[in-house]
Structure formats: structure tokens, C-alpha cells
């Protein structure tokens, strides 16, 4: 059950204040900076993040039901309250099996909120899946169910997804990658420091198998962990997975069989309804033979226990309390340090409308996310907001064009290609022009698991059917209610309505703050199209490296300067930032804030920037960026993010960036001897 776009170059991954507001003033009055958030006992040059946010961080507690507290979460909270109102009114008095869009959304929400029915059904809600697993008599029969995992709860060592074809950008391709691990990353299986998490995972498997009345839960749980450990040994690392070049490996059906002959591909493809296709992209191809060998060497009974456990794990949020609680205890509490379950309405909202799909594709499985998005955009993203952000986007693009033209280290040939590519970029804001059709999906007020299953099947059918035609350039990979943004393979940059709110963007705020916050984020996304990964896609959207060797070498040299700075940061004791994993995002942050400052200056048309409450224009641009990232997390969450997230932790997205931008030094009087000070000759200068 995966829906992973393979060239989501750059989900910004903001984990993301609910407050009543007067519609004529900014959310943070009087001009958009939270003046009560500063820590004036800290020098800006020692820790700019703390200076801009210290009082806010001191007065903010991390809530029990999540691992992080942040401004971004406050934005999500605001959206959640809006969605709650919308979903409650849609479910109020809804019929048993409605046919209109609002009714379907309301009935789905009601089916999740009806805890009594969910608890009464218990494990019987997934009888069809568990019986099918039990009844499978050989590996091909199990592989068929693994293939069905694209539209049902079954796990699979190979995950399938559909995205644009990197070398034929007008067509879609079906990708196949690895997806068998139940822990967050292969490191969790292979490194000694994760032994406690492995023990907890083994206990979780035993618990779910016990709830399923599966034979020998303890013995099977041990064998399941051994099986997944073998899969982990054969898997690629996160750093390898970031490279689209080595992932573009087209194969025919026969080619798949030749690549990894120990896996019954025909049955798997039949399960995924793709046996009639003859072209696939095997992303982590060198792992395939190892994964196939592991599967075929594992006794059928162990594979069945694994599939039953992982099916129950995937379905647990929609099952009775014992399943739901077990999953929470392991996945949220043990792995992420979250003390309490989110309230049921919030989980119902995620089940119907999806949540944070870029970061966690599983949470957008089997939803009516685009239907919820349509209702949300209609109600909460007015036309003047769309007009204001569209203008700002244009100014950032112009600032980047100017920077590219004047870059001292980039040769003329590369510049020409870069400018050509920049002109092909479209920036989409708010919501898509076209909406998904849900008229064929049956939604019942009394059948939660059935709703999830049917929504997932409709989603896969939609993607499969669309994949036969030309690429839909108007497509969006994130729903309007999402608090995130991305730079996609359609050479588009997409900012959903959910991220276009304070402190990222507030149409009522002073422009300097908007440039520093959303302007820098837009710039961040734009640079991704031109950096060490983006340079592999040309202006036509095809996978082709358009940089000269000399320019590539110079970029690497400059990037290494930034990488060496980030490698010094230690977010939790003993865990340093991995400069290779975070390189692309760190460069994008630096480029984004640099061009936001340029665009703000250009927007003044030669007039001096106003001084507001003693703060200059440049100061407000930097504060806009620093306050947009305000937040803190539990150590477990920082640790997990530092190991697996290509974005540096929020404090370093501020401190690691500003110290490389000259105007920051003059804006805040930063001097040699200050902790963040870097001599001018040693600052990283890329975009
Ligand atoms: Zn990014």
C-alpha cells in the first residue's frame, strides 16, 4: 500500500496557532512579526534561531499527542479546525449511502466516528484479507496478494507506483521499488543502537498476531523480524535513494523475471492489474535479486504470518480499540515519543482527507482527499489571497533569473540551459484547476474498512487508467489542505492553500516578512530544479545532465564548503547532521533566502525600506524566515529526523543559512567572535 511519487524532488516537509483573528489585521499584529517571541538575552550572532524565537519556545509546550510543537503545527491546527467544522456539517444527518460529494465525505467521516460499530466488527472487518492470506497455497498465490497491496492493506517487498516517465516526460511510467520494511529505515534493522526499537517491533508483531488468533505468535514474530532484517540488508540506503539517475532502469516484464527470477512476477503484476503492461522502471534494481532471494528462501508459513501481521498493522487505525491502541503504542509512542493518541475527530479527518502525503504516503491511502480539498478550497482560499501570492511568486522568479544571469561561477553554456529551464517552470498556488471524479465510489456510513478499501481501489483505477494517456500537466501531487509544498517532475512548483497562511504567508503582513518566509520557500523550491539533482532534468523535462563538467565540479566545491559547516551541527548528543543526506535541502534553503532578499529589494523600486517598530526591512526579511521555522521536538523525533530526513532540523535551517549571507551580518551587527560568525572568504556562495 504505497503511493510514492519517485521524483518528489523536495517536499519541504514542514511538520507544521489556532487563534481567532480580525480579518483586517495580520495574524501576528501589528505587521506580521511576533514581537513577543524574541529572546533578547541571546545575541543574534550567537544563535539567531534562539534570538528570534526564544520566548516563544520557552512558553510553548510540546503537546502529549505529537512529537513536535511549532508555528507550522499551529498552521495545521488552524486548518484542522476549519476541516473539522466542514466535516461535521457534512456528516450531520447524512444518509446511509449518499451519492453527492459532500454526502460521501460526510458519510466516510461518520463511519470513522462511529466507534461502537468499529468495535463491534473487530477483526471481522479484515476477514477477507486474512482469509485470503491463510488460503494461499504457494508463493505465486501470496505474490498475487502482494500485488493487490496497491489497492488493499497487504504488504509487499516490492512497491508499485505511477509517475511521469523521467526520459519520456510526456508519458507516464509504472515504477517498482522496494517497500517491505515495517520499521522507518534500514538502519533500524542493522545498527546496534536501534536494538530497543527492534525489540519493541518484535513485541508489536507478537501482539497483533495474538489479536488475529494466528498460530505461534512469539515464534512467528521472531521470524518476521529476521525476514525484514534480511530485506533491509538487501535494500538501498537513503542517500542512494536520492539519486534519480541510478533509479531510471526500464525493464520489460521478461526483464523483471530475468532480473530477479526467484520472485513470481506474473502473479504479482496480475494482483496489481498491470500484467497487460510491458514496461516498468525498476528503481532500486540492484536490490531486486537480493529481495527476491530472501522471499523465496523464507518458508511459506513465515511469509503468511508476515503478511497477516503487516495487513493488520496497515488496517489497525480503522479497526477496534485493541488493534488501534497497539499500533499507536508502537508507531507513535515508542518510535516517535508521542505520549497520547490524537482525538478521534482528528484521526477521522486524516482517514477521509489524507494528511502529509509527501512525508507519509501511507496516510493518504484509501481516502477521499481531493473531495475534501475541493470543499476546503471553496470555503477557505479566497480570490484576493490567490492574487497576492501569484504576484509574489512572479517577483521571486524574476530575482532567480537575475541571479542566474550574474552567477560568477557558472559558464555561459550551462547558464543558457538554466534560463531556458526556468522559463518552462509553472508555479501553481492554492488549488488545481480540475477536480477528481468520485461519482463511482461507494461510501457507506456503517462500513469504515470498506470505505477505505473502495477509495483505495478507485484511486488505483484512476491512476492506471490515466497512465495510458499523455501526462496531465495540470496535475497536483498534494491536496489543497496540505501544509507543505513541492517541486515536481512536471517542472512545476506547487503551493497548496494549506501552506499559504501565517506565518508563512499573510496577505495582511508587511511584505518584508512575506518575502523572508514564503518568498524564501518559493526560492528554495525553484533552486531544486537547478541543483545537483535538478540539473539532471532538462528544460523539456527529460532526464539529461545539462551542466558542463567544469560547472559541476565548481558547484561541488562550493557545496562541500556548506556541507563541512553542517557536519559540525549536533542536534542531539552523538548524532551529527549528515551533510550528504541534507546537502540538496541546505543549498536550497541558502539559495531561497538569498533570492527572497533580492526580490524584496527589487520590490521597493529604489525607495528606502520602511522601519517598523525599530526593525529595518532586511531585519524583517531574516526574522520572517527565522520565525517561520520556530519550533521544538522531543529528542526521539529529532534523532529519527536527523537520521532519515533530507531536511536539516529547523534550528539549523535558520542558523546554518543566515551565517552565509552577507547582509545578515550588517543587519544584526554580527562580528568576529560571535558563535555563528564566518569570515567572508569562507562563506558558502552558491546561488
Ligand atoms: Zn527542498
In which residue are the cell numbers 556541507 written? 563
- At 558, list the grid cell: 562550493
Dump pLDDT digits (tens) for 270-314. Answer: 999 999 999 999 999 999 999 999 999 999 999 999 999 999 999
- CA 527 to ligand 1 center in whole angstroms: 9
DSSP strand pairing (631-633 vs 486-487):
unpaired
Candidate from 10-14, 50-54, 223-227, 675-679 with smallest mean pLDDT: 10-14
Q: How far is the CA of 448 from the centre of ligand 1 (A)?
A: 35
pLDDT at residue 544 tops 90: no
Q: How far is the CA of 329 from the centre of ligand 1 (A)?
A: 31
Q: Ligand 1: distance of its center to the CA of 283 in Å?
A: 21
Residue 66 has pLDDT above 50, yes or no: yes
Q: What confidence tier does 22 reach under pLDDT thresholds 50, 70, 90?
A: very low
Of 404, 455, 436, 435, nearest to 687 (Cα)?
A: 404
Q: How far apart are CA 367 and CA 350, in angstroms?
A: 8
Task: Tell me the C-alpha distance between 266 and 273, whole Å.
Answer: 10
Q: What is the mean pLDDT of residues 503-524?
A: 95
Span of 24-33, 297-306, 356-365, 401-410 with lowest mean pLDDT: 356-365
Q: Is residue 671 packed enough to be buried (19+ CB in 10 Å), middle (13-18) or exposed (0-12)?
A: exposed
Nearest to 200 by CA among 340, 333, 363, 317: 333
Ligand 1 centroid to residue 522 C-alpha, Å: 10
Give the pLDDT of residue 461: 96
Kindly give the residue spans of alpha helices, DSSP state H, lying in 505-574: 511-514, 520-528, 549-567
Residue 11 phi, psi dihedral angles, 5° rounding: -55, 135
Q: How far is the CA of 525 from the centre of ligand 1 (A)?
A: 6
Q: Pick the closest to residue 515 from 502, 528, 504 (CA basis).
A: 504
So what's the pLDDT on residue 536? 86
Using the CB atoms, write b or e for 173-199: b if 16+ within 10 Å: bbbbbbbbbbbebbbbbeeeebeebbe
Q: How far is the CA of 54 from the centre of ligand 1 (A)?
A: 25
Query: Does 13 score more than 80 pLDDT?
Result: no
> Is 389 a residue whose pLDDT tops 60?
yes
Q: How far is the CA of 592 from the centre of ligand 1 (A)?
A: 10
Mean pLDDT of 123-133: 98
Exposure letters 635-658 (e unless 16+ CB within 10 A, then b): ebbbbbbbbebbbbbbbbbbbbbb
Handedness of CA 191, 204, 449, 112 (dihedral sign): negative
Centre of ligand 1 from the C-alpha of residue 12, in Å:
5
| Contact status, residue 623 vs residue 33, Cβ threshold 8 Å | yes
pLDDT at 4: 35
Q: How far does the centroid of ligand 1 lie from the alpha carbon of residue 605, in Å?
A: 30
Which pLDDT tens digit goes with each residue over 415-436? 999 999 999 989 899 999 899 9
Calculate how far, in angstroms, residue 622's C-alpha sits from the geometric centre of ligand 1. 19
What is the whole-number distance in angstroms between the Cα of residue 164 and the centre of ligand 1? 20
- Residue 356's pLDDT is what? 63
pLDDT for 355 beyond 90? no
Whole-number Å distance, alpha carbon 487 to ligand 1 midpoint, is: 8
**CA 330, CA 662: separation in Å to the nearest integer?**
46
Cα-atom radius of gyration of the chain, to the nearest Å?
25
- Output the CA 6–ligand 1 centroid distance in Å: 14
- How large a percentage of the chain has pLDDT more than 70? 95
Q: How many A from CA of 50 to the centre of ligand 1?
A: 23
Question: Who contacts 367 (Cβ-Cβ below 8 Å, separation ≥6)?
Answer: 350, 351, 352, 353, 354, 452, 455
- Spacing, Cα 486 to ligand 1 middle (Å): 7
**What are the backbone dihedrals phi and psi of residue 487, each rounded to the nearest 5 degrees, phi first?**
-115, 110
**Does residue 118 or residue 341 have the better pLDDT?**
118
How close is the Cα of 601 to the center of ligand 1, in Å?
24
Distance CA 649, CA 656 (A): 10
Please list the alpha-helical segments (H only) found in 41-70.
Answer: 48-59
DSSP characters over 231-262:
HHHHSPPHHHHT-SGGG--EE-HHHHHHHSTT
Give the distance (Å) from ligand 1 centre to CA of residue 640.
18
How many angstroms is it from 586 CA to the middle of ligand 1? 8
CA distance 249 to 254: 14
Report CA(195)–ligand 1 centroid distance (Å).
31
- pLDDT for position 54: 98
pLDDT tens sequence across 605-664: 999 999 999 999 999 999 999 999 999 999 999 998 999 999 999 999 999 999 999 999
Instruction: Give the distance (Å) from ligand 1 centre to CA of residue 520.
Output: 11
Ligand 1 centroid–CA 591 distance in Å is 11
CA of 307 to the centre of ligand 1 (A): 35
Ligand 1 centroid–CA 452 distance in Å is 31
CA 294 to chain centre: 30
CA of 202 to the centre of ligand 1 (A): 35
Share of the chain above pLDDT 90, in %: 82
Q: What is the mean pLDDT of the chain?
A: 92
> Counting every residue, how long is the chain?
687
What is the pLDDT, as a whole number, of residue 2? 37
- Res. 19: pLDDT tops 70: no
Is the pLDDT at 541 greater than 60? The verdict is yes
* pLDDT of 254 over the 60 cut: yes
The residue to which cell 508459513 is assigned: 301
| Cα of 532 from ligand 1 centre, angstroms | 12
Of 310, 245, 144, 199, which Cα lies nearest the Cα of 536? 245
Residues around ion ligand 1, judged by CB within 5 A, are 10, 585, 588
pLDDT tens sequence across 463-484: 999 999 999 999 998 999 999 8
Distance 584 CA to ligand 1 centre (A): 7
Distance 567 CA to ligand 1 centre (A): 18
Amino acid at each position: 500500500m504505497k503511493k510514492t511519487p519517485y521524483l518528489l524532488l523536495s517536499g519541504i516537509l514542514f511538520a507544521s496557532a489556532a487563534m481567532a483573528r480580525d480579518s483586517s489585521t495580520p495574524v501576528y499584529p501589528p505587521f506580521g512579526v511576533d514581537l513577543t517571541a524574541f529572546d533578547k538575552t541571546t545575541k543574534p550572532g550567537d544563535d539567531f534561531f534562539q534570538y528570534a524565537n526564544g520566548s516563544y519556545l520557552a512558553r510553548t509546550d510540546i503537546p502529549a499527542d505529537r512529537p513536535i510543537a511549532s508555528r507550522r503545527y499551529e498552521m495545521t491546527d488552524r486548518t484542522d479546525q476549519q476541516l473539522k467544522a466542514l466535516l461535521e456539517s457534512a456528516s450531520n444527518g447524512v444518509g446511509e449511502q449518499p451519492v453527492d460529494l459532500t454526502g460521501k465525505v460526510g458519510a466516510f467521516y461518520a463511519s470513522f466516528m462511529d466507534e461502537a460499530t468499529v468495535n463491534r466488527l473487530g477483526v471481522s472487518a479484515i476477514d477477507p484479507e486474512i482469509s485470503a492470506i491463510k488460503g494461499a497455497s504457494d508463493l505465486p498465490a501470496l505474490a498475487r496478494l502482494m500485488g493487490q497491496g496497491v489497492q488493499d492493506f497487504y504488504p509487499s517487498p516490492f512497491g508499485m507506483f505511477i509517475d511521469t516517465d523521467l526520459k519520456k516526460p510526456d508519458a507516464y511510467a509504472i515504477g517498482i521499488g522496494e517497500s517491505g520494511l515495517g520499521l522507518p529505515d534500514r538502519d533500524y534493522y542493522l545498527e546496534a543502537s536501534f536494538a530497543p526499537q527492534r525489540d519493541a517491533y518484535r513485541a508489536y508483531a507478537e501482539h497483533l498476531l495474538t489479536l488475529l488468533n494466528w498460530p505461534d505468535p512469539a515464534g512467528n514474530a521472531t521470524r518476521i523480524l529476521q525476514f525484514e532484517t534480511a530485506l533491509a540488508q538487501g535494500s538501498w540506503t537513503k542517500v542512494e535513494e536520492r539519486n534519480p539517475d541510478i533509479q531510471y532502469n526500464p525493464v520489460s516484464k521478461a526483464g523483471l523475471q530475468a532480473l530477479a527470477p526467484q520472485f513470481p512476477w506474473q502473479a504479482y503484476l496480475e494482483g496489481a492489474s498491470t500484467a497487460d503492461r510491458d514496461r516498468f522502471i525498476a528503481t532500486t534494481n540492484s536490490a531486486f535479486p537480493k529481495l527476491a532471494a530472501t522471499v523465496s528462501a523464507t518458508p511459506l508459513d513465515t511469509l503468511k504470518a508476515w503478511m497477516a501481521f503487516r495487513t493488520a498493522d496497515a488496517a489497525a487505525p480503522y479497526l477496534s480499540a485493541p488493534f488501534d491502541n497497539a499500533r499507536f503504542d508502537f508507531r507513535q509512542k515508542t518510535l516517535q515519543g508521542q505520549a497520547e493518541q490524537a482525538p478521534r475527530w482528528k484521526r477521522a479527518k486524516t482517514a477521509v482527507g489524507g494528511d502529509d502525503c509527501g512525508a507519509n504516503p501511507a496516510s493518504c491511502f484509501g481516502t477521499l482527499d481531493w473531495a475534501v480539498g475541493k470543499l476546503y478550497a471553496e470555503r477557505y482560499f479566497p480570490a484576493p489571497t490567490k492574487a497576492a501570492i501569484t504576484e509574489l511568486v512572479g517577483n521571486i522568479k524574476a530575482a532567480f533569473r537575475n541571479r542566474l544571469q550574474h552567477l560568477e561561477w557558472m559558464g555561459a553554456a550551462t547558464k543558457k540551459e538554466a534560463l531556458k529551464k526556468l522559463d518552462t517552470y509553472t508555479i501553481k498556488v492554492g488549488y488545481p484547476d480540475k477536480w477528481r471524479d468520485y461519482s463511482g465510489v461507494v461510501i457507506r456510513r456503517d462500513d469504515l474498512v470498506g470505505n477505505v478499501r473502495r477509495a483505495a481501489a478507485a484511486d488505483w483505477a484512476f491512476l492506471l487508467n490515466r497512465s495510458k494517456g499523455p501526462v496531465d500537466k495540470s496535475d497536483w501531487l498534494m491536496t489543497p489542505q496540505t501544509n507543505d509544498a513541492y517541486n515536481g517532475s512536471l517542472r512545476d512548483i506547487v503551493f497548496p492553500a494549506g501552506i499559504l497562511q501565517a506565518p508563512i504567508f499573510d496577505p495582511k503582513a508587511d511584505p518584508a516578512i512575506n518575502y523572508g518566509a514564503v518568498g524564501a520557500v518559493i526560492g528554495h523550491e525553484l533552486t531544486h530544479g537547478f541543483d545537483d539533482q535538478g540539473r539532471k532534468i532538462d528544460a523539456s523535462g527529460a532526464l539529461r545532465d545539462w551542466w558542463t563538467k567544469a560547472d559541476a565540479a565548481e558547484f561541488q566545491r562550493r557545496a562541500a564548503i556548506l556541507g563541512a559547516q553542517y557536519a559540525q551541527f549536533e542536534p542531539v548528543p552523538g548524532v551529527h547532521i549528515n551533510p550528504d543526506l541534507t546537502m540538496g535541502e541546505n543549498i536550497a534553503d541558502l539559495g531561497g533566502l538569498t533570492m527572497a532578499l533580492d526580490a524584496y529589494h527589487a520590490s521597493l523600486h529604489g525607495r528606502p525600506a520602511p522601519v517598523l517598530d525599530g526593525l529595518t526591512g532586511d531585519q524583517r526579511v531574516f526574522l520572517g524566515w527565522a520565525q517561520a521555522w520556530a519550533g521544538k521536538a522531543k529528542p526521539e523525533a529529532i534523532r529519527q529526523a536527523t537520521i532519515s530526513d533530507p531536511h536539516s532540523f529547523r534550528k539549523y535551517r535558520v542558523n546554518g543559512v543566515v551565517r552565509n549571507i552577507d547582509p545578515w551580518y550588517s543587519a544584526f551587527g554580527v562580528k568576529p567572535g560571535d558563535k555563528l560568525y564566518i569570515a567572508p572568504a569562507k562563506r558558502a556562495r552558491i546561488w
